[in-house]
């Protein structure tokens, strides 16, 4: 049986799974160019709409049938290569008939630059099981997969999971196209993000005003140009992903719907 690539590609969303940056998070646009947010100094924490304690839970549907659950969470902070990082995990679990999946993307990305410093991809699908461990060195534009030689990376690299958080800091203007050269594997660049429209959507977690984006990744899969993958992000300062839809071979559609969310610890404390 040929292995399905459903969750491998979600995690590669994970747009990566989305990623012309040299020393600052600038981006290319179709028209007109807007000022890019300045990169925070190395000793300063970047202003971001997420934080430790944030947790987004999803139901996963294939072909319209609920088959599992997903979760995005910023679980803690950690020191990696002497730098303070966010530790975030994106998981997808479930299945039907012969297809079972228990996948995870785990990222440690710099709190000041959002650059990836460590990335672990765990895949458990049907009879396929693997774990890929990467150390990423932004200052040297290099990366090393465990057990392999050091290879070239890019400036201010982003992995599949960290890009899901980085894209929330981008000023997404309807009608614009953003091109990024930040994906940590150079051969997968560029990543293109088209901002399609604003739309109100209702998911199990409630009704939200959203900005709809279409990520396109050179490597294909869910985010290939013909795949018509779309993400719905809240049209507010949080930029939470509340819905995701993509067309895929054989199973036709893959959808994620937000079922519940928990704000970062600092936000929860302020609310009290």
Tokens describing residue 33: 């160019």
What is the model's pTM?
0.80
Q: pLDDT above 90 covers what percent of the chain? A: 58
| pLDDT (average), residues 165-187 | 94
Kindly give, in sequence order, each residue whose CB lies less than 8 Å from that of residue 262, ignoring residues fewer than 6 positions away: 53, 54, 55, 56, 268
Q: What is the pLDDT of residues 177-187, one digit of tens each?
A: 999 999 999 99
46: three-class secondary structure by DSSP = coil
**Distance (Å, rounded) from C-alpha 174 to C-alpha 197?**
6
Residue 71 forms beta bridges with which residues? 57, 91
**What is the pLDDT at residue 217?**
74
Tokens describing residue 180: 């990024």
**What is the pLDDT at residue 228?**
73
Model confidence band, residue 64 (pLDDT cutoffs 50, 70, 90): confident
**Distance (Å, rounded) from C-alpha 39 to C-alpha 22?**
11
**Distance (Å, rounded) from C-alpha 10 to C-alpha 8?**
6
């Amino acid at each position: 049986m040929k292995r399905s690539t459903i969750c491998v590609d979600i995690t590669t969303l994970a747009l990566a799974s989305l990623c012309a940056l040299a020393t600052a998070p600038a981006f290319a646009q179709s028209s007109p160019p807007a000022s890019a947010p300045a990169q925070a100094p190395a000793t300063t924490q970047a202003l971001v709409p997420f934080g430790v304690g944030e947790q987004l839970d999803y139901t996963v549907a294939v072909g319209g049938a609920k088959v599992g659950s997903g979760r995005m969470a910023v679980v803690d902070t950690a020191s990696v290569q002497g730098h303070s990082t966010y530790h975030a995990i994106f998981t997808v679990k479930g299945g039907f008939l012969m297809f079972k999946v228990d996948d995870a993307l785990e990222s440690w990305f710099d709190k000041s630059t959002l650059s990836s410093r460590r990335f672990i991809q765990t895949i458990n699908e049907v009879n396929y099981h693997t774990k890929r461990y990467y150390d990423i060195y932004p200052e040297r534009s290099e990366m090393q997969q465990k057990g392999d030689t050091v290879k070239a990376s890019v400036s201010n690299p982003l992995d599949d999971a960290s890009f899901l958080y980085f894209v929330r800091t981008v000023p997404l203007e309807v009608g614009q196209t953003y091109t990024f050269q930040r994906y940590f594997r150079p051969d997968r660049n560029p990543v293109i993000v088209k901002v399609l429209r604003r739309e109100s959507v209702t998911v199990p977690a409630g009704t939200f005003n959203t900005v709809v984006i279409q990520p396109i990744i050179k490597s294909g899969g869910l985010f290939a140009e013909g795949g018509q993958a779309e993400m719905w992000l809240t049209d507010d300062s949080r930029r939470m992903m509340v819905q995701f839809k993509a067309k895929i071979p054989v199973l036709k559609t893959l959808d994620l719907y937000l079922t519940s969310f928990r704000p970062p610890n600092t936000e929860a404390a302020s609310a009290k």
